[in-house]
Structure formats: C-alpha cells, structure tokens
Structure 1
Amino acid sequence: MTEKKIGLSALALKWIAVITMLTDHLGIALLGTAPDAVCGGMRIAGRLAFPIYCFLLVEGFYHTSNIKKYLIRLGVFALVSEIPFDLLLFGRIFYADYQNVFFTLFIGLLLLYLYSRFLANVQPIYAIMAFVSMLCLAFVIRSDYGAEGVLIIFLFYFFRTRPVPMVISIGIVLFLMGGIEPFAMLAFLPIAVYNGERGGRIPDSPAKRIWQKYFFYCFYPVHLVLLWAAEHFLLT
C-alpha cells in the first residue's frame, strides 16, 4: 500500500481554484445587488484561481501523454465558453473585444509546446519568436489576463525548479498589472504545499473516468450560464 504524501494534490488545488473562481464570478453577478464591500471581497478571493490554474497547466504540460489533445481540449472549451462568458460579463451573446480565460490557457500551453520544441531542436531564435508571438496574440485578441497571463504561465514553466525567482518574477507581473491583482500572490500558499500527486481515486468505469476528466472543463461554461441566469431572472 502506497503511503499518502503530506500536502495538497493536483485535485485539491483544482478544487481551490474552482471555488475561488466561482466566488469571484459570483461577486460579479452580485454587483449592484450586494454591498460593494462584499462583492469586492469576493473578487479579491477570486484572485487565487488564475495562478493556480497556470501552475496546474504547467504541471499538465509535463505529465500529459498527448499535448496535441490537451491543446484541442482547451481550444474547444475556449470556443464553448465564449457565449456564457460574454453573457455574464457584458450582457450580450457575442463581445469581440474580450475573450475568456480558456483562450489564455490555450495560448500559454501552445507557447510551452513551441518553446520547448524549438529549444530541444537547438533553435533558440525560433523559441524567442514563439514567446513574443504568443504574448502578442494574447494582447491582440484581448484574452482574459492578456499577455500578462501568458507571461505568468511561462514564468511558472521557466522557473519550475526555482521557486524563489518564480515567486519574485510573477509577483512583479501581478504588481504591474495593478488593481486587485497583487492579491493573487496568496495563491502561492496552497501551491507551496503541492505534493506532486494527482489525487483522487481512479474510477472503475470508462464513463466515470470521462466525467472525472472533463468535470473541471465543463464547470467553467456551466457555472457562467447559471450565474447569468440567476443574475437576470432571480436577482432582478
């Protein structure tokens, strides 16, 4: 029997990210209904979600058996989530000037794939070009967290075995982003006790395995739709 490691598994980190993200988006849905201090506190709590997702994305990059399928999953859910995202944040079915966070994660993962591949083939110039082009892409399409979000993903990757420069560099990015983003540094508390384990019991049926694999992907668009519906039909 394998002894369980002390600390938080990847599954535990996913739950922390999901709960804080839900708290953040609930704060958005309650704007104008709940006191500003309550909504503000919920949005601050939500700052933990994105760095945890970035950290898990990098871990997934190193442990996935098929990076191309990983990219396809992120791309598909980026498209699926766009209408729910636009409805909740902008009150319309389509808003071209800002894209959901799945686009940022997709671009970040694509950057890691291209950068590592070019370096492996001793093509540092192409690796740098991939880095710059992916930051520009996130900036141009205005994905959630933008070029700074993709940069944070890259810093988790680049300093993966060097926690001190990782924390310092990401902290600088968050500070420069301004607003409430520096509160995202609190995400390093649960990340610091990550034990390297996936967590959870492997389901004994294919259907349960699929459900376990896609639950956290599906949660994003589903909770956005539910919050939008609650905002427009229950809180008005």
Structure 2
Amino acid sequence: MPIFSFCIAEGYIHTRDRKKYILRLLIFALISEIPFDLAFEGKIGLSHQNIMLTFFLAVLALYFFDLIRGEVKEDTGKYSMGRTIPGIFVIVAMAVAALLLKADYTIFAVVTVFLFYVFKDAKYFIRSAVGVAFLALTRTMGYYCTTGLSIIPLLLYNGKRGRGLKWLFYVFYPGHLLVLYVIKLALSGQ
C-alpha cells in the first residue's frame, strides 16, 4: 500500500489534467467494488470498500487542499499559513470520510498520500521515509510491520516516468481481485 500511495501522489503531481485523474480514480473505484466484495466477502455488499475509493478520496482531498492553499506568495516564496491550515482540514475531512465509508486503509491511506504529496520538494529519502514511517508506526500489527520494507523500492525510484503501463495498473487491481475470487471458489469446491 505505501508504494501505491506513492504512485497515487506522483500521478497527481505529474498528471496533465487533475480533474480527469480524479474522475479516473472514481471510475476504477466503482469498477473495483464488485470484485473487491466478491474476493473478500464472497458477496456484494457495503461492509468494506476498496482501496481505489480511498485513493479517490485522497486525491480529491489533494485537489481541494491545493485550491484552498493557493499559490506560493511572491514576497516570501512560501505558502500562506492562514490558507494552508484550512486546507489541512480538507485532508482530515476526507480521511474521516474514508473511515465512515469503511474504505480500505481508511485514514492511513489518505494521510500517506498527503504526506508523499506535501513532501514532494523534500530530499528524496525524507519524502519516502515520512510516508513509510507514518504507516509503519501507525499500522504495526501483523503483516503491517513489513510496511517498512517498502522503502527499498521507493528509494530506487529515479523520478522518471516508467514504460507507460498506466492502464495495466488500473486493470490489475480489479483483475487480481477477480482471480482471487475464482481461486476462493475453486478451493471451496463451488
């Protein structure tokens, strides 16, 4: 999840059209919901929503954060603190929305995407470490303690665009969930 959160923040930073990026995440959140429900619950329901919904909320939060925060002030070269603080409330509101909607990784994913975004101008190690450390420190039970290992591929990222496999990653998420559901059915003998 930290690697996907990083990629979502990078996508937001580098996209040509942020509104289309937000819409694309919403569409894939909707497409992914049925495979997600089937893979994890065995039936379609609203007890738990997929990570694409959480990423949609995170990017929507970034969009409103940027709108509220505005541009860097010419005289100081910094953002207005009076506008940044209300922008942070949008991040908190979307994180709470993720929690209330029972979206996968809830608050943790929204905050992680925000940290990767807000530290985009920091030294690369610091940027990577902040997001991963947040998750590793807040989600330490069970398999979450392996979150720290995600720092390795993040540090290997060279800042350049990959091979243009964007659509593969969008299709991979609902696709792998359908495969997991089929395996679950096969193992249960249905």
Query: Could you tell me the TM-score, scaled by structure 1's length?
Result: 0.68
User: What corresponds to 1:138 in structure 2?
Assistant: 98
What letter is aligned with 1:78?
Answer: A
Map 1:1-236 to 2 at 5 A.
Answer: 50-94=1-45, 96-120=46-70, 122=80, 123-160=83-120, 161-162=122-123, 163-164=125-126, 167-168=129-130, 170-179=132-141, 180-200=143-163, 212-233=165-186, 236=189
Q: Read off the aligned partner of 1:76 and give its amino acid letter.
A: I
Q: Distance in 1 between matches of 2:91 and 2:62?
A: 9
- 2: distance between equivalents of 1:170 and 1:142? 22
SS at match of 1:53: helix
Aligned partner letter, 2:126: V
CA distance in 2, matches of 1:169, 1:51: 7
Q: Which AA in structure 2 matches 1:56?
A: C
Does the CA-based 8 Å contact 1:171-1:182 persist in structure 2?
no
Residue deviations 1:43-99 (CA, integer Å, cap 9, x gap): xxxxxxx111111111111110000110111101101111110111111122x1211
Aligned residues of 1:107 and 1:134 also touching (Cα < 8 A): yes
Instruction: Give the number of aligned pairs.
Output: 176
Match for 2:146: what amino acid? F
Q: How far apart in 2 are the matches of 1:219 and 1:178?
A: 27
Deviations 1:7-30 (A, max 9, x none): xxxxxxxxxxxxxxxxxxxxxxxx
3-state secondary structure, aligned to 2:36: helix
Instruction: Return closer, same or farther for 1:116/1:174 CA change in 2, 3 Å cut-off.
Output: same
Matches of 1:125 and 1:195, distance apart in 2:
32
- Runs of 4+ aligned structure 1 residues displaced above 3 Å come to none
Say whether the 8 Å CA contact 2:58–2:91 is kept in structure 1. Answer: no
CA distance in 1, matches of 2:131, 2:8: 18
Instruction: Pick 1 or 2: higher relative contact order, CA cutoff 8 A, min separation 6.
Output: 1
Structure 1 residue 165 displacement after superposition: 6.6
For 1:93 and 1:103, the matched residues in 2 are separated by 16
Structure 1 residues 169 and 101, CA gap change in structure 2 (3 angstroms) = closer
Shift, 1:124, TM fit: 2.8
Aligned sequence identity (%): 35
User: Unpaired runs of 5+ in structure 2?
Assistant: 72-79
Q: Is the 8 A contact 2:116 2:127 kept in 1?
A: no
CA contact (8 A) 2:65 2:88 kept: yes
* Deviation of the 1:234 alpha carbon: 5.1
RMSD: 1.9
Where structure 1 has 5 or more consecutive residues not aligned to the other structure, the ranges are: 1-49, 203-211
TM-score (norm 2): 0.84
